[in-house]
Structure 1
Amino acid sequence: MPTRNDAYALMTKHVKNESLQKHMLSVEAAMRAYARKYGEDEELWAMTGLLHDCDYEEYPDLHEHTQIAADWLRADGYDERIIYAILAHNDLNLATHPRTDLLSKGLYACDEITGMITATTLVRPNKSIQGLEVSSVRKKMKAKGFAAGVNREDLVKGAEELNVDLNEHIAFVIQAMTEVADTLGLAGTTEARQEAAS
């Protein structure tokens, strides 16, 4: 089984867009946290998050997206559970890959919410995820023009499929992302950090 370093190298080989890389790192952090909560394999869950969109930059067509990634991951000897969950997070594959296992449900639930949390953080004056409130994220979810790329229905459906309260889910993912805020570029502006430190 490839290591996390192998997974990161594969991801960065195919994904050059920094925002997309950070999205995948966000999902990795959220998935790792949920694995810990559920007593599941942290590395397996984290790698699923890290790799879930590894083909998206080169193959954005939803009929190809995840199918190409599955081929790459199989060729490199990744666990079939990772491949299944990645295929299952694309709704076009649900006939063959329904989200019936916890790993698939976790990935689907973490995917869109990380995007909404990131977008909400970046419009804050200090650009820091530290202290971000669930209510702020919920408010932005209602704003139609805001973060238009984030599918609100998928976001709500993801929490439902995972059987978690949406507010609790948002709070949980904010906490997971806060732990790697520097890596995600969500630790705030230099000025804000200096102010907080003084």
Structure 2
Amino acid sequence: MSELTLAKAKEILAKHTTEAHLFTHAAAVSAAMGAMADHFGADKEYWEAVGYLHDVDYEEFPDEHCHHVRELLAPEGVEEEVIQTIISHGWGITTDEKEPVTDIEKSLYTVDELTGIVQAYALMRPEKMDGMELESFKKKFKDKKFAAKCSRDTIKKGMEMLGMEPSEVMQCCIDGMQAHKEELGF
């Protein structure tokens, strides 16, 4: 059992982040990670906390993202396991330090980008997250011009690492974000 709670993750992130969109992204990834934890039968609050804290060094070090995680989190008493999990979401993107190997690492690697596409789709829909269907989302996912900054290659690589069908991962992400739609502003 980890010491990291969602409340502690929120407290730590607030020390290193000021931009509203980064808090929204943290909440989206946290929500998706909670749904992934449910899928794997894992500790939901722990996975949500890790998801919330995953971009702790992004605002301060955007060009060195994932390289300053340890220096920001170790003094807070955050366990090495959490630090390694967070660093792993930048594997092959911003760092080669830690390849995602556990379910939580692979999930974080995958849903980080995927939540951006779900969020972009929700923002263009009059009903936002309500009633978002997998089939209509998949059409947006296939459109590389839609939410173009979200790397489909990273998402697909993550899904392969997880050994899950893309539809399963997408549905987890949608379900998690729907369950937290008020917090996400939807």
Q: TM-score, normalised by structure 2?
A: 0.90
> Residue 196 of structure 1 corresponds to which residue in structure 2?
none
> Residue 79 of structure 2 corresponds to which residue in structure 1?
79
> Residue 28 of structure 2 corresponds to which residue in structure 1?
26
> Residue 125 of structure 2 corresponds to which residue in structure 1?
124
> Residue 176 of structure 1 corresponds to which residue in structure 2?
176
Where do 4+ consecutive residues of structure 1 move more than 4 Å? none
> Residue 165 of structure 1 corresponds to which residue in structure 2?
165
> Residue 54 of structure 1 corresponds to which residue in structure 2?
56
CA distance in 2, matches of 1:133, 1:2: 33
Counterpart secondary structure, 1:131: coil
Deviation (angstroms), 1:116: 0.5
**Taking every aligned residue pair, what percent have the same amino acid on both sides?**
36
Contact 1:120–1:136 under 8 Å retained in 2: no
Gapped regions of structure 1 (runs ≥ 5):
187-198
> Residue 13 of structure 2 corresponds to which residue in structure 1?
11
RCO greater where, 1 or 2, for CA within 8 Å and sep 6 or more? 2
Contact 2:6–2:46 under 8 Å retained in 1: no
Deviation (angstroms), 1:59: 1.0
Gapped regions of structure 2 (runs ≥ 5):
none
CA distance in 1, matches of 2:39, 2:144: 33
Deviation (angstroms), 1:51: 0.6
Deviations 1:30-51 (A, max 9, x none): 1122223322222321111001
Q: What amino acid maps onto 2:61 in structure 1?
A: Y
> Residue 100 of structure 2 corresponds to which residue in structure 1?
99
Which is greater in Rg?
1
Q: What amino acid maps onto 2:142 in structure 1?
A: K
Contact 1:44–1:82 under 8 Å retained in 2: no
Deviation (angstroms), 1:125: 2.4
Deviation (angstroms), 1:97: 1.1
Count how many residue pairs are aligned between Structure 1 and Structure 2: 182
Counterpart secondary structure, 1:116: helix
Contact 2:9–2:50 under 8 Å retained in 1: no
What RMSD over aligned residues (CA atoms) do the two structures have, in Å? 1.5
